[in-house]
Amino acid sequence: MAQVFDRSSNALARASLVLTGLIVIALGVALNSLQRSPWVTRQGQRPDQPVPFSHKHHVEGLGLQCQYCHTSVEKSSYAGIPPTKTCMNCHSQIWTNAQLLEPVRQSWATGESIQWIKVHDLPDYVYFNHEIHVNKGIGCSSCHGRVDEMPLMYQENTLQMEWCLNCHRNPGVNLRPTSQIYNMAWTGPSTDKPVWCTATVNTDGTSVPTAQGVNCVMKDPNAAGGNNVAQNEMPAVGASHAPGMTTAPMPVAVLPVNYVKFTGQNDLGKYLTAQYHIRTANELSSCEVCHR
Ligand code: HEC
Ligand code: HEC
Ligand code: HEC
Ligand code: HEC
Ligand code: HEC
């Protein structure tokens, strides 16, 4: 075949190919970082709410529990936003003339609910469920941050797929005793602040496959007069039905409780992963878990 292009145009072609390649890569990088930017993920934004409700005042200041307002978080996929009635429990008496609370009084008078703007909002094609997360030892703060310190609510994490998967591939680092779910300041055990855990054991030697069967305490249960043991102890399941002991009714025997001491999140995470029967990383990152 005849040579149509000379050597120099060949070099030119190569250079422009390289240039096009670079532009495509640069565009890709730009799009990718745009996709991850707070502008797209809405991370950190504080939308203009009809009422500037402060979690800091109501949670940290007044000591209200999350469940007081988000009543369904442990038993349904939705945490739920409280009805105006919940606000009026107090605000029919407190700050009754405050201009800030006018929309609350308006809503109470008309029966029309307050139009809160959603801060967290997954696409509809993603399945998410609060119940399973909190009952398997993931605390509110692991996903929502220090809500107790937020004067106005914002989204702490991206809520992108990568964020979900990051935890699903290694949930152990985020697992905590279920008693600590609402503890906004939980940071995991340390040498200074160890945690002791025990799991209810069946007569066949297997542990009860629910997170509720695990009991953790923050004070040394073996210390002299360790009265927090009795207080937190699970009923001794099956104590009087041990194999080979089917004769006369026995005095209610208390099983010796073996607490394991943890001084780091790694060990606690491994223990809780086993006790809570957390699925494997592979199972938890398969597409149909979140896309059904
Ligand atoms: C006195 C009632 C009250 C209490 C107590 C309360 N909240 Fe809220 N929460 C609200 C209201 C009202 C909203 C909607 C307005 C807003 O987003 O600020 C809300 C919104 C939220 C949202 C964002 C919802 C969205 O739109 O995505 C999260 C997350 C949240 N609360 C978590 C918590 C946690 C965690 C606690 C406990 C530490 C808590 N709340 C305690 C009333 C309460
Ligand atoms: C347990 C009682 C209680 C409940 C329930 C309650 N509040 Fe309050 N709220 C207070 C008190 C007390 C203050 C004054 C706080 C302060 O000045 O430190 C306050 C203050 C406020 C303020 C003024 C700004 C601020 O944060 O100081 C707003 C707005 C407000 N509340 C909105 C709401 C809304 C909306 C709800 C329902 C989702 C609600 N409150 C539920 C007791 C309550
Ligand atoms: C595993 C992460 C995770 C944990 C743990 C978690 N949340 Fe959420 N939360 C989310 C996500 C994701 C959404 C957005 C859901 C959607 O858009 O469908 C959300 C939404 C909410 C909302 C908005 C209303 C709703 O039900 O969608 C509230 C209120 C809320 N969470 C409160 C809480 C409280 C209180 C706790 C602790 C008891 C908690 N969350 C624990 C991830 C979490
Ligand atoms: C901080 C850790 C963490 C984060 C973040 C997290 N998850 Fe999970 N998720 C878990 C754990 C732990 C389980 C329970 C696993 C088990 O029971 O085997 C779980 C279970 C699930 C399940 C299974 C529910 C069922 O009924 O089978 C779904 C669906 C799910 N997560 C969706 C999500 C989505 C969507 C996100 C992101 C928006 C998310 N998760 C973020 C820890 C997390
Ligand atoms: C732990 C939950 C979880 C698992 C497992 C998961 N996804 Fe997703 N996926 C999400 C969430 C959350 C979003 C929404 C992301 C957003 O809003 O930015 C999403 C979005 C997507 C999208 C939309 C495009 C995008 O990136 O925004 C596609 C396509 C997708 N997922 C495919 C998959 C495939 C394929 C798998 C299996 C290999 C998978 N997902 C497994 C949670 C999950």
Report which ligand 5 atom has the smallest distance to the Cα of 40.
18
- Using a 6 Å cutoff on CB, does residue 211 contact ligand 4? no
Residue of 157, 158, 161, 164 to test ligand 4 pocket, by largest number of atoms within 8 Å of CB: 164
Q: Which atom of ligand 3 is nearest to the CA of 66?
A: 35
Residue 79 is predicted with a pLDDT of 95
For the Cβ of 122 lying below 6 angstroms from any atom of ligand 1, the answer is: no
Q: Is 157 in the pocket of ligand 5 (CB under 6 A)?
A: no
Q: 265: CA distance to ligand 4 center in Å? A: 19
| Angstrom distance (rounded) from CA 84 to CA 97 | 16
CB atoms closer than 10 angstroms to residue 215: 20
Task: Give the Å distance between the CA of 103 and the centre of ligand 5.
Answer: 38
- Say which residue the tokens 């597409």 belong to: 287
Could you report the per-residue pLDDT of 237-284, keeping only the tens digit for each? 444 444 444 444 445 445 567 899 999 999 999 999 999 999 999 999
Indicate whether residue 132 lines ligand 4 (CB < 6 A). Answer: yes
* Residue owning tokens 């923050």: 218
Please list, in sequence order, all residues whose beta carbon lies within 8 angstroms of the beta carbon of residue 144, skipping any fewer than 6 positions away: 120, 156, 157
Q: Assess whether pLDDT exceeds 60 at residue 7.
A: yes
Cα 51 to Cα 81: distance, rounded to the nearest angstrom: 14
* Cα–Cα distance, 52 to 152 (Å, whole number): 7
Residue 226: CA atoms inside 13 Å, Cβ hemisphere, count? Answer: 14
Calpha distance 155→85 (Å, rounded): 26
Q: Check whether 215 has a pLDDT greater than 60.
A: yes
Q: What are the structure tokens assigned to 225, written together?
A: 């007069």
Report the mean per-residue pLDDT for the chain.
83
Residue 226: pLDDT over 60: no
Question: From CA 263, how far away is CA 251, in angstroms rounded?
Answer: 36
CB of 23 shorter than 6 A to ligand 2: no
From the CB of residue 265, how many other CB atoms can be counted at a distance below 10 Å?
A: 19
CA 77 – CA 160 distance, rounded (Å)? 18
Nearest CA to ligand 2 atom 34: 87
C-alpha 251 – ligand 3 centre gap (Å): 46
In the prediction, which pLDDT does 222 show? 83
- CA 24 / ligand 5 centre spacing (Å): 24
pLDDT at 158 over 60: yes
Q: Which of 11-25, 109-123, 194-208, 228-242 has the lowest mean pLDDT?
A: 228-242
Instruction: List the structure tokens of 104.
Output: 């609350």
How far apart are the C-alpha atoms of 21 and 14, rounded to whole Å? 11
Residue 234 above 60 pLDDT? no
pLDDT, tens digit (0-9, with 9 covering 90-100), for 131-141: 999 999 999 99
